[in-house]
Amino acid sequence: MKWKDTVTGAVLFVLVAAGVTNGNLLTNGDFEQPLTVGWEQDVSHVAGSHRFERSDTLGQPTPGYAAKVFKQLAYHAALGQQVEVPGANLTLTFDARMAIVGGSTTCWPTGAFIVSYLNADGDELGTTMFILRDQYNTWRESDTLKLHDIDLPSVWNSYELDIAQEIADNLPGVDPAAVRRIEVKLYSYVNGT
């Protein structure tokens, strides 16, 4: 039997407000401390196993620490953090790699880095996903969901997301003036067993 699983890893998350030169809004965004500092684990488990790891770069050439989220079979494992922000005029930078194994019409793996835009009450206004998925994944974009497909699986890449520009260009259903919280997640998902 071929396992269906996903591995999502990140070496560094930095969320900075415009005009601030040294002010990461995330706690432990560099994973220099244990994953229990600043990050919350979320698991929906029906079958298979899951794992959260913090280690020295996980093969990334930049020195420092990295986090890894692994989920095998249904449903998901996520490592996330929600922070208050002064507005949508922010930049998120991160180094990341993803890998998926297996997949079928009834059991498809997906790895993602999720950025959710929330109002002051914590209600989700919209979401951006950097996503690695197989051909069976049924997720589709909308005016509040943007999917950026990952073209190079299992390779470390650097990403930069200008949040105000992302909302303006890709999320017409999101009011940027209402954004008062940001949630970032490393997300591993398999829809079945």
CA 51 to chain centre: 16
Res. 121: pLDDT tops 90: yes
Contacts of 77 (CB under 8 A, 6+ apart): 41, 42, 43, 45, 50, 51, 52, 69, 70, 71, 187, 188
3-state SS, residue 76:
strand
Residue type, 16: V
Alpha-helical runs (H) found in the chain: 163-170
pLDDT band at 14 (very low <50, low <70, confident <90, very high): low
Distance CA 19, CA 11 (A): 24
Give the E-state strand segments of the chain in sequence order. 5-17, 40-45, 50-55, 66-72, 75-84, 90-101, 109-118, 124-133, 145-149, 157-162, 181-190
The pLDDT value given to residue 32: 84
pLDDT at 93: 84
**Which of 6-10, 80-84, 93-97, 142-146 shows the lowest mean pLDDT across its residues?**
6-10
- Please, what are the domains in the chain? 5-190 (2.60.120)
Percent of the chain with pLDDT over 90: 33
The angle formed by the CA atoms of residues 119, 189 and 109, to the nearest 5 degrees, is 135
pLDDT tens digits for 140-170?
Answer: 999 999 999 988 877 888 888 999 999 999 9
Query: Tokens 């005029």 label which residue?
Result: 89
Q: Record the pTM.
A: 0.84
More confident residue, 122 or 137: 122
CA 128 to mean position of chain CA atoms: 9
Instruction: Specify the residue for token string 């943007």.
Output: 146
Q: What is the pLDDT of residues 34-53, one digit of tens each?
A: 889 999 887 777 666 777 77
